[in-house]
């Protein structure tokens, strides 16, 4: 398995610290607002990495934090006239709501910054003792110049940064690049007792403290959005390595951005879409599929059209699954081979290896999905030959289980076709019920038996206008939701 490491700027063979157990940490959210689709991408990308590493047979310990104390949370609370911790708690719950629908699993530990104040203070105290940090007016700063390797992740030279520094002037800091480990609290702000007086943690220190506590001094994978490379992750490295004297992380992985009109989606530009906004128009699975249909490091242009195409693709999957289930449900006594038997056997024989090869190459989900649709095409062609018999049933069953296996790793294609259509009916706001549709199908069946094609077609057209497509098959009519 090869993973692209931001630290070395290349794909590297994945060799975890411990051969059996993989330790990974991803930066979660600051809980001050609803999540947008960029948060979804990050969460889904790392969710898939974790699932795939488990699929490969490793035990995984996965940590994803919540930043529950921060300026933005405090400001939001002020705006709303509520308590800062109530704001954080509310948006953590909203996060779970969105992520559950997107199929993002819970991490093994989901630590909150405020639950690790003691650990953070210990690290800050240690950094001061080792000469990497200094106190000024109740705040503590990390002295960037004292850490020789500063800039190694973001490939920056400290002197260049000073020259072009756009950081605000802070007289208390020795250098403008120094960053806060501990911030003295102002009047009325949340505060914790510390050796430097009442204050609260700086942003970066929490990840160092929580990863150290839950994963140890050196762990395997640390991830987040590419916008966290600098300064957040650079600072984490400085703090952690200065404190422990050990390498902090083996593999740094960063996902690319979502763009709108080619520009990065961001809060400040105001060009962002929240997850729930999108889920009011598209099924959550379509969002997940859309995000996985591009390699995680590439930018993705967000658009309704792309989401719609994702829906069409998923629909193709479930339509095939329905066909498989229909096929396996029918009598398959007499044996009739399909001309495409060899082609299906070939692809079944290499499918699993192909999937692993794609995923082993820096989690190439786009290629892996391509393999899934290749199998679907060959299988459909095979079924077009109307084969029957035990061997055929076995091959079709095997196809289905391989599709489910691959889908399971990506956590897509895990529902039944019926569940998919039901969900589509909700999201497309279809104005007829399943019972209505069955009644219409019954009426049409009679019309067709009477060879009253005009009436049969009018019933079909009527449903089509409501977003329901009828399909006449040998043994009856089925319906689907139009995507």
Residues in 383-412 at the binding interface with RNA, rule: CB under 7 A: 383-384
Residues 53-112 close enough to bind RNA by CB under 7 A:
72
Residue 349 sits in the site that holds RNA (CB under 7 A)? no
Per-residue CA distances from 230 to 117, 235, 321 (Å): 24, 8, 45
Of positions 175, 218, 332, 364, contacts RNA by CB under 7 A: 364
Residues 305-324 close enough to bind RNA by CB under 7 A:
305-306, 309, 312-313, 316, 319-320, 323
Phi, psi of 185 (to 5 degrees): -80, 140
Residue 456 sits in the site that holds RNA (CB under 7 A)? yes
Residue 457 sits in the site that holds RNA (CB under 7 A)? yes
Distance spanning both ends of the chain, measured CA to CA? 37
Residues 198-257 close enough to bind RNA by CB under 7 A:
203, 224-232, 255-257
Residues 120-139 close enough to bind RNA by CB under 7 A:
none
Of positions 157, 193, 277, 405, contacts RNA by CB under 7 A: 157
Question: Alpha-carbon distance 208 to 236, whole Å?
Answer: 6
The whole-angstrom distance between residue 335's C-alpha and the CA centroid of its chain comes to: 45
Strand 133-136 relative to strand 59-67, pairing: unpaired
Helix (H) or strand (E) holding 455: helix 453-465
Which CB sits closer to RNA, 59 or 439? 439
Which CB sits closer to RNA, 125 or 228? 228
User: Do residues 20 and 334 lie in contact, with contact meaning Cβ atoms separated by under 8 Å?
Assistant: no
Q: Which residues contact 480 (CB under 8 A, 6 or more apart)?
A: 315, 319, 421, 468, 469, 471
Helix, strand, coil abundance in the chain, percent, nearest 5: 50, 20, 30
Which CB sits closer to RNA, 17 or 380? 380
Of positions 20, 79, 166, 280, contacts RNA by CB under 7 A: 166
The least CB distance from residue 118 to RNA, in Å, is 22
The least CB distance from residue 309 to RNA, in Å, is 5
Of positions 112, 200, 295, 428, contacts RNA by CB under 7 A: 295
Strand 263-264 relative to strand 258-260, pairing: antiparallel
Of positions 87, 161, 209, 275, contacts RNA by CB under 7 A: 161
Site string for RNA, 407-446 (x = CB under 7 A): ----------------------------------------
Closest CA to 283 of 320, 317, 310: 310
Which segment (108-116, 117-125, 431-439, 451-459) binds RNA by CB under 7 A? Answer: 451-459
Residue 473 sits in the site that holds RNA (CB under 7 A)? yes
Q: Which residues contact 30 (CB under 8 A, 6 or more apart)?
A: 67, 70, 72, 73
Which CB sits closer to RNA, 17 or 145? 145
3-state SS, one letter per residue, for 27-84: EEEECCCCCEHHHHHHHHHHHHHHHHHHHCCCEEEEEEEEECCCHHHHHHHHHHCCCH
Q: Considering CB under 7 A, how many residues would be counted as binding RNA?
A: 85
Which segment (52-60, 361-369, 389-397, 409-417) binds RNA by CB under 7 A? Answer: 361-369
Which CB sits closer to RNA, 305 or 333? 305
Of positions 104, 128, 286, 300, contacts RNA by CB under 7 A: 300
Which segment (35-43, 115-123, 126-134, 207-215) binds RNA by CB under 7 A? Answer: 35-43
CB atoms within 10 A of CB 428: 18
98 HSE (CA, 13 A, CB side)? 27
DSSP string for 171-233:
TTSSSTT-EEEEEEPPTTS--B--TTSSEEE-TTHHHHHHHHHHH-SSEEEEEEEGGGIIIII
Which CB sits closer to RNA, 161 or 287? 161
């Amino acid at each position: 398995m090869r993973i692209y490491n931001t630290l070395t700027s290349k794909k590297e063979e994945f060799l975890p610290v411990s051969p059996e157990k993989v330790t990974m940490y991803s930066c979660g959210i600051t809980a001050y607002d609803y999540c947008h689709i960029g948060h979804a991408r990050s969460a889904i990308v790392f969710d898939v990495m974790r699932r795939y590493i488990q699929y490969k047979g490793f035990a995984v310990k996965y940590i994803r934090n919540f930043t529950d104390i921060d300026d933005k949370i405090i400001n939001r609370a002020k705006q709303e006239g509520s308590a800062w911790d109530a704001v954080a708690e509310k948006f953590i719950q909203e996060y779970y709501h969105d992520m559950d629908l997107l199929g993002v699993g819970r991490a093994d530990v989901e630590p909150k910054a405020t639950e690790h104040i003691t650990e953070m203070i210990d690290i800050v105290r240690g950094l001061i003792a080792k000469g990497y940090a200094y106190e000024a007016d109740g705040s503590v700063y990390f002295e960037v110049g004292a850490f020789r390797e500063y800039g190694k992740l973001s490939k920056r030279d400290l002197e260049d940064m000073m020259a072009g520094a756009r950081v605000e002037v802070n007289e208390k800091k020795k250098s403008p690049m120094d960053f806060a480990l501990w911030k003295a609290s102002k009047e009325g702000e949340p505060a914790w007792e510390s050796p430097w007086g009442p204050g609260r943690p700086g942003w970066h220190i929490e990840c160092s403290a929580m990863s150290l506590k839950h994963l140890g001094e050196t762990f395997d994978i640390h991830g987040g959005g590419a916008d966290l490379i600098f300064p957040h992750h650079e600072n984490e490295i400085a703090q952690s390595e200065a404190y422990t004297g050990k390498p902090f992380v083996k593999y740094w992985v960063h996902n690319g951005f979502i763009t709108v009109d080619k520009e990065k989606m961001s809060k400040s530009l105001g060009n962002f879409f929240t997850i729930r906004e999108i889920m009011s128009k598209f099924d959550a699975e379509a969002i997940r599929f859309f995000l996985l249909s591009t390699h995680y490091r590439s930018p993705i242009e967000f658009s309704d059209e792309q989401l719609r195409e994702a829906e069409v693709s998923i629909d193709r999957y479930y339509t095939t699954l329905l066909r498989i289930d229909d096929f396996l449900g029918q009598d398959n006594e007499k044996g009739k081979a399909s001309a495409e038997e060899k082609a299906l056997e070939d692809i079944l024989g290499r499918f699993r290896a192909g999937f692993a090869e794609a995923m082993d190459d820096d989690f190439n989900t786009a290629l892996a999905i391509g393999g899934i649709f290749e199998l679907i095409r060959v299988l459909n062609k095979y079924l077009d030959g109307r084969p029957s018999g035990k061997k055929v049933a076995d091959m079709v069953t095997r196809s289905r289980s391989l599709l489910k296996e691959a889908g399971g790793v990506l956590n897509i294609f895990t529902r039944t076709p019926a569940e998919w259509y039901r969900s589509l009916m909700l999201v497309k706001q279809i104005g007829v019920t399943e019972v209505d549709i069955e009644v219409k199908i019954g009426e049409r069946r009679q019309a067709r038996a009477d060879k009253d094609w005009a009436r049969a077609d009018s019933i079909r057209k009527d449903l089509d206008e409501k977003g329901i497509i009828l399909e006449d098959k040998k043994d009856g009519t089925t319906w689907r939701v139009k995507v």
